[in-house]
Structure 1
Amino acid sequence: MSSAGAQAAPAACHTVTKVVPVTVYVAQQVWENGHWVTKYVPVTRYETISTIVCD
């Protein structure tokens, strides 16, 4: 006979992976009006973040 007692379910953990866009500003030398000018241009990179979630 199997016991029908209530048992607590073990916590199930899984990994959640998200890809988030990160904008960084990179200095670039640009030839403008006869001389070099430093400009900061935005560059978007995508970073993967993994977190472990237990429920």
Structure 2
Amino acid sequence: MSPQLSLPRELPAGSTRSLPVLDAAAEVLRAAGEDVHVVYSAHGDTFKIVPREAS
């Protein structure tokens, strides 16, 4: 059995590193077959990875 990666799905928008980290995580998830993208959530001031149909 292969080890599972733990990827962040939500990070604070106040950090300049959050968006690049989530973009990279979304690319990994897309490569694994998930149809996701990164969105900004004003409620909580965060960036989140969500399924495309959920946005």
Q: Compare the two structures and name the one with the higher strand fraction.
A: 1
Q: Which has the higher helix share?
A: 2
Higher relative contact order at CA 8 Å, sep ≥6: structure 1 or structure 2? 1
Larger radius of gyration: 1
- Specify the TM-score bucket, using the shorter chain as the normaliser: under 0.3
